Amino acid sequence: MEKVVDRFIRYAKINTQSDENSKTSPTTPAQLELANWLADELRSIGINDVSVDENGYLMATLEANTSKETPVVGFIAHLDTSPDLKISAINPQVVNIRYGKPVVLNAKSNIVLSPLDFPILNSYIGQPLVVSDGLSNLGADDKAGIAEIMTAIEYLIAHPQIKHGPVRIAFTPDEEIGRGADRFNVKEFNASFAYTLDGGGIGEIQYENFNAARARITIQGLDLHPGSAKNKMKNSMLIAMELNGMLPAYETPEHTENYEGFYHLTSINGSVESTTMNYIIRDHDKLHFDRKKELLIKIADHLNLKYGPRTVKLTMVDQYYNMKEKIEAVFPIVDLAVNAMKAVGIAPRVKPVRGGTDGARLSYMGLPCPNLFTGGHNFHSRYEFIPVPSMVKAVEMIVKIVELLGKEGLPAVRQV
């Protein structure tokens, strides 16, 4: 317990927020610094095959300690944290929660983590939680995944009686801005399959995710003196509001759950003369996903007819696709994770990812890669927290996956 917590807190203190406006890889230098630090730590615990490339991708191998032929399994987590909150420092703290009582994250700023706002807290009564000081996100997404993989690997090295085949490790940059798989060398990684440790609460296993696209809309207005603007002025901000009002009102993140998709306006910046809007579009179902994109195109076309050609410019790019069709072809890798969870006393909870992971893109690049829990909650916010026992169980799960694969190979019968 102490090792995984200590690791996580050390890693979390390093501000590795990615930057979508940067053209470098990794997009922030701290990610490369963390990758090199982790490489040194891996060498210190006994891993000899470790590399970090100029783009910040760390790869390493725990060599087999048995002559038995087994598939090569990989474990992957990402180095960066969300840029959603602009922060200068991360100050993790360990607290305990009592039933119905809020956790004071920052007394000076009156920031509290309350079970009234987040009822899931009542599931962890009496457990130590790692939280931030309320002035930043915690970075459990995905420093917890890194800490859990590192601790599991160290445990396997210290317990050679657990016979296993080769285990591959990768830590990737810039996952939070959708670039985590851009320069991932699947051939070099050379694993039969892998798992991303990038999920939420204990027991989560995910092999379905959103289909995803991003859209950038620029609206060109015409600014004139308001006293003589009749039938001439085009206020780009009002056109932007009109555009947003033409989208389905209840297909937004705050009105959707489970398999329901959405449009999400992530930013808007404008004046009478010009306005820029950024959206992300998400849906698990490919047909619904395509229809969402088609609707946005039709709205842009309609507004150009109404206000004149070139008033609305829409640029839309697909980001990633639902990994389900790639994972179903190799479903025993899901069964293996489910069996490992059950073996260490975890109740598996198969659920879709309402987002994406590096694993989604990697699955389409030839590396099937379901997503497993880290234990964290409220990712990307100042209210992020992770129960320590959940982190410990994640370590046990990784070790058990490796052990079962070495002992029995992949399950032959679908369990889920």
How far, in Å, CA of 368 to CA of 365, rounded? 8
Q: Which of 80, 141, 142, 283 is catalytic?
A: 80
Query: What single DSSP character describes residue 57?
Result: -
* Residue 290 lies in domain: 211-319
Residues 236, 171 share a domain: no
Average pLDDT, integer, range 193-207: 96
Residue 414 resides in a domain: no
C-alpha dihedral sign at 339, 343, 344, 348: positive
Residue 415 scores a pLDDT above 70: no
DSSP one-letter string for 210-235: -EEEEEEEEEE-B---GGG-TTT-B-
CATH of the domain at 93: 3.40.630.10
**Phi (first) and psi of residue 128, to 5 degrees:** -70, 135
Could you tell me what percent of the chain has a pLDDT over 90? 93
Query: Which of 297, 319, 341 delimits the end of a domain?
Result: 319
Average pLDDT, integer, range 4-23: 96
Catalytic annotation on 20?
A: no
Nearest to 75 by CA among 208, 211, 181, 169: 169
Q: Which residues of 40-68 are buried (b: 16+ CB within 10 A; e: fewer)?
A: ebbeeeebeebebeebbbbbbbbebbeee
Query: What single DSSP character describes residue 65?
Result: S
Cα atoms found within 13 Å of the Cα of residue 394, Cβ hemisphere only: 38
How far, in Å, CA of 275 to CA of 293, rounded? 20
> Average pLDDT, whole number, for the chain?
95
Residue 416 resides in a domain: no
Residues 342, 404 share a domain: yes
Predicted confidence band of residue 238 (pLDDT cuts 50, 70, 90): very high
pLDDT tens digits for 81-129? 999 888 889 999 999 888 778 999 999 999 999 999 999 999 999 999 9
Residues 6 or more apart in contact with residue 123 via CB below 8 angstroms: none
Residues 312, 243 share a domain: yes
Q: Which of 141, 148, 154, 175 is catalytic?
A: 175
* Burial class of residue 390, CB neighbours in 10 A (0-12, 13-18, 19+): buried
Looking at residue 414, its pLDDT comes to: 55
How far, in Å, CA of 89 to CA of 349, rounded? 34
Average pLDDT, integer, range 234-258: 97
Is 169 in contact with 72 (CB distance < 8 Å)? no
Looking at residue 98, its pLDDT comes to: 81
Residues 304, 217 share a domain: yes
Residues 160, 29 share a domain: yes
Q: Name the 3-class secondary structure at 148.
A: helix
How far, in Å, CA of 317 to CA of 243, rounded? 19
* Burial class of residue 367, CB neighbours in 10 A (0-12, 13-18, 19+): buried
Residue 415 resides in a domain: no
Using DSSP bridges, classify how beta strands 111-113 and 73-78 pair: parallel, antiparallel or unpaired.
unpaired
* Burial class of residue 85, CB neighbours in 10 A (0-12, 13-18, 19+): middle
Partners of 76 in the beta sheet? Answer: 170, 196
C-alpha dihedral sign at 297, 221, 310, 279: negative
Looking at residue 100, its pLDDT comes to: 74
DSSP one-letter string for 150-190: HHHHHHHHH-TTS----EEEEEES-GGGT-TTTT--HHHH-
Residue 46 tokens read as: 């006994």
pLDDT tens digits for 276-319? 999 999 999 999 999 999 999 999 999 999 999 999 999 999 99
Predicted confidence band of residue 416 (pLDDT cuts 50, 70, 90): very low
Residues 163, 28 share a domain: yes
Looking at residue 132, its pLDDT comes to: 95
Is 410 in contact with 335 (CB distance < 8 Å)? yes
Residue 237 scores a pLDDT above 90: yes
Q: Name the 3-class secondary structure at 192.
A: coil
Looking at residue 413, its pLDDT comes to: 57
Partners of 213 in the beta sheet? Answer: 281, 318
Average pLDDT, integer, range 136-154: 97
Looking at residue 357, its pLDDT comes to: 81
Tell me the chain's radius of gyration from C-alpha atoms: 23
Residues 117, 59 share a domain: yes
Cα atoms found within 13 Å of the Cα of residue 119, Cβ hemisphere only: 0
pLDDT tens digits for 67-78? 999 999 999 999
Looking at residue 412, its pLDDT comes to: 80
Residue with tokens 């085009």: 234
Residues 204, 222 share a domain: no
Residue 358 resides in a domain: yes
Number of domains in the chain: 2
Residue 16 scores a pLDDT above 60: yes
Is 256 in contact with 262 (CB distance < 8 Å)? yes
Residue 162 scores a pLDDT above 70: yes
Residue 207 scores a pLDDT above 90: yes
Catalytic annotation on 175?
A: yes
Residue 399 scores a pLDDT above 80: yes
Residues 333, 313 share a domain: no
Nearest to 161 by CA among 66, 72, 61: 66
Residues 6 or more apart in contact with residue 258 via CB below 8 angstroms: 352, 354
Residues 28, 49 share a domain: yes
Residues 201, 348 share a domain: yes
Predicted confidence band of residue 2 (pLDDT cuts 50, 70, 90): confident
How far, in Å, CA of 74 to CA of 71, rounded? 10
Residues 167, 24 share a domain: yes
